[in-house]
Amino acid sequence: MLGNLDNEVIFKKAFTNKIVFKAFVRDILGIEIEVDKIETEKKFEPKIGYVDFELDIFAESVDRRIVIEIQRVEYDSHFDRFLHYFLMLIAEQQRNAKTYNIDQTVYVIVVLTAPYTISEKNGKPILDEVLLIQMNPQTLKGEIRDLYGHKSGGVPLVCLNPNHPDKDTPKQIRDWLDLIYQSIHNPQRPSLNTENEGIKKAIELISFENLTPEERREAKDNESKRVTIARIENAKVIEIAKNMLKKGFDNETIVELTGLTPNQIEKLREN
* Segment among 30-39, 74-83, 103-112 with least mean pLDDT: 74-83
Q: What is the average pLDDT across 167-190? A: 95
- Using a pLDDT cut of 90, give the percent of the chain over it: 38
pTM of the model: 0.79
Which residues share a beta bridge with 66?
A: 105
How far apart CA 38 and CA 203 sit, in angstroms, is 19
Q: What is the rounded distance in angstroms from the CA atom of residue 155 to the CA atom of residue 28?
A: 10
Quote the CA–CA distance of 180 and 95 in Å, as a whole number.
36
State which H helix or E strand residue 85 sits in.
helix 81-92
Q: Report the distance separating Cα 132 and Cα 161, nearest Å.
A: 12
Residue range 53-81: mean pLDDT, rounded: 82
DSSP category for residue 125: B
Environment class of 144 (CB within 10 Å of its CB; exposed 0-12, middle 13-18, buried 19+): middle
With cut-offs at 50, 70 and 90, classify the pLDDT of residue 121: confident
Q: Judge whether residue 224 has pLDDT over 90.
A: no
Give the contacts of 239 (CB within 8 A, at least 6 positions apart): none
Bridge partners, residue 61, by sequence: 35
Q: Cα separation of 221 and 9, whole Å?
A: 10
